[in-house]
Structure 1
Amino acid sequence: MRYDLFMAERHRDYVERVLSSTTRAAQSLVAASWCRSGLKHGLDAGAAQKPELVSQSDLTQRQRRHELMLEVARPLLDQLFQTVAATGCAVMLSDNDGVILEARSQEGDRDMFDQVGLTPGGIWSESREGTNGIGTCLVEGRPVTIHRDQHFACRNIGISCMDAPVRDAGGRLVGALDISSCRDDHSLATAALIQKIVQDAARRIESGVFRRYFAGHRIIDANLPGGDAALLAVDRDDLVIGATHAARRRFSLSDDCLTACRSASDILGGAPVDSFRDSDRAVLRRALAAADGNATRAAKALGIGRATLYRRMEKAGLSRG
């Protein structure tokens, strides 16, 4: 116990030195997070507070709010836990507020995780716990590893956390996938290996959510080897109506681009459709999308008159509006 108190006091002193520096925040992700924790949120690294959990009714509402993500994630959480259970790790999935929605841990380790609040309902936002895997991952919006004394709070320096963000079908950040260990022998090398596993599982959850959300539509897999889950959803006329976060970043897509106004071939760099060999409806919609809805320009691009364009639109069931 004396050793723990000594380590905690030394950690608190180090945190205070970082907070008093005018340059440390720009030197690393962890230092920047410490400064947010202490200077923005007013947290005390040495505070001895108990874990905070939301009420059962609040947890239930949050689980319902993220029902699609949880339905997709649950079997993956089970698989992930089977992979890391022997190392004494727990697997968790939080919402975008840092509240743990689901957790997996071995029965012999469960009390240890419950004591520190790594349990369903536990609140791990950065504003509440300071620098930690879940909260800092949500703030940064990218994979993070917070290993032991990289945590802000002294009470958390025995924990090692590996996290990756999880986004919904619209590319919005909705949670963090976490693997945590409270064992003393959990090294940085082990953390690096587990981090890769976490990132892969998070991509699988995102892909599953996207495919479920756009069920009934064609999904185009635009992944590069070893890349993120870059998926596009297209309607029956090959116009893009959805894209994962990775696809949005790769193809510079905004919400305005995903209102059935750009074709998949346009986004992917394929040859445009310039004849009526395909269905009239698909060709007309693509031409109108490329012309920003301007009928004269669309007709010119197709090599027909505007009156002919209108006749074909009527035949294909497309209104002039």
Structure 2
Amino acid sequence: MPEHRHEDRVAKASQSPGAVTRLAASWRRSMVKHGLDPAGAPSVRRLTPRELAERREALDGFINVARPQLDQLFQLVCPTGCSVLLTDASGIVLEQRVTEADAGVFRGWGLCNGADWSEAAEGTNGIGTCIIEGRQVTIHRDEHFYARNTGLSCMDAPIWGPDGRLIAALDVSSARTDTERWNGLIAAQVAQSARQIEAAFFRASFPGARIITAQPPGGDEAMLLIAVDKDDLAIGANRAARRAFGLEKEGQLRPRPASDLFGREDEATGFEKAERAALIRALARAEGNVSAAARALGVGRATLYRRMSRLGISENPGRLSRS
């Protein structure tokens, strides 16, 4: 018997109410709040096909938006033998990307559609702890709560809905022993993919609105997104923008004049400067082809022309192409 078993280490670190690390605090939650035993893990709970179908139906629009990014992320990480999972805000796996050769391995770990990977069910783990703490996490092997999960490495990032509430978690998991050196790179890609899904779903949630974007200082956080309707009322804001502008933390945004957020109409604001710079960069990359720039930005050509006009970007016949 090992001198220091995993379950003994978890129990000892969880004894203090003032756990000094986030990992120890999660272990303590698992033992004290959820009443779990690190040595006595039950089998992973799985929803019935009908229950899973109901969960998916409730998030059908979101899942459809997320699928292209899940496919792209999987193409990047599949050579390392990883699985890509998308869960709901309760930790239920809704979508999985895995090679046919590896599917049985991950199913044996309980990483499959319909599985419950909430912290209440599985203790400290990438999905559940990411959801509980609302932040990006990496839970590597013996950082897991249950001894039976210590062969896994899990990199996770939260996805926030247009209402400012957590809507999902994005997970990449590996059961290989030689992936630790790649964990940082994979975690960065998971975070980027989560932000891309979040932004795409925000745009899809306000189909008739103009989406104003700005990069926060530092560039590592989610893009600030504001939805503005035809009457120039701000009708939506993502979580990052809500925090930056002191708006409602969660729920439906109270419509308000966009100028109240961005400043006087005759004065270029930070948002406007950022948007203008983004348009000019897109046009430069497209070598002046307006249609190509519009496609790269995900907007129609007419919309791009309106933005150019509003931001004072003049069309130069010698450089910009309408084709």
Give the aligned partner of residue 249 of structure 1: 243
Give the aligned partner of residue 93 of structure 1: 86
1:136-186 CA-partner distances (Å, limit 9, x unpaired): 000001111111100000010000000000111111111100000000112
Q: Which amino acid aligns with 1:10?
A: R
Distance 2:168 2:251 in 1: 24
Q: Which runs of 4+ in 1 moved over 6 A?
A: none
Give the aligned partner of residue 194 of structure 2: 202
Post-superposition shift, 1:68?
1.5
Aligned length: 264
Question: What SS is found at the alignment partner of 1:233?
Answer: strand
Normalized per residue, the structure richer in helix is 1
Matched, 1:78 2:34: no
Preserved contact between residue 206 and residue 229 of structure 1 (Cα < 8 Å): no
Q: Which amino acid aligns with 1:126?
A: E
Distance 2:251 2:175 in 1: 45
Matched, 1:191 2:183: yes
Matched, 1:218 2:213: no
Preserved contact between residue 209 and residue 230 of structure 2 (Cα < 8 Å): yes
Gaps of 5+ in 1: 275-321
Task: Write the mapping of 1:81-160 to structure 2, written as runs, cut at 5 A.
Answer: 81-160=74-153
1:110-142 CA-partner distances (Å, limit 9, x unpaired): 111001110000100000000000000000011
Distance 2:149 2:194 in 1: 24
Post-superposition shift, 1:273?
7.0
Distance 1:111 1:178 in 2: 18
Task: Write the mapping of 1:258-297 to structure 2, written as runs, cut at 5 A.
Answer: 258-261=253-256, 263-268=257-262, 270-272=263-265
Distance 2:194 2:120 in 1: 23
Give the aligned partner of residue 66 of structure 1: 59
Same amino acid, percent of matched pairs: 47
Q: Which amino acid aligns with 2:230?
A: R
TM-score by length of 2: 0.78
Gaps of 5+ in 2: 268-323
1:8-29 CA-partner distances (Å, limit 9, x unpaired): x710110111122343x2x221
Distance 1:6 1:61 in 2: 45
Distance 2:253 2:234 in 1: 6
Preserved contact between residue 210 and residue 228 of structure 2 (Cα < 8 Å): yes
Q: Max radius of gyration: which structure?
A: 1
Distance 2:187 2:251 in 1: 34
Distance 1:160 1:214 in 2: 36
Give the aligned partner of residue 301 of structure 2: none
Preserved contact between residue 223 and residue 231 of structure 1 (Cα < 8 Å): no
Preserved contact between residue 126 and residue 136 of structure 1 (Cα < 8 Å): yes
Preserved contact between residue 14 and residue 25 of structure 2 (Cα < 8 Å): no
Question: What SS is found at the alignment partner of 2:14?
Answer: helix
Deviates further, 49-58 or 124-133: 49-58
Q: Which amino acid aligns with 1:64?
A: E
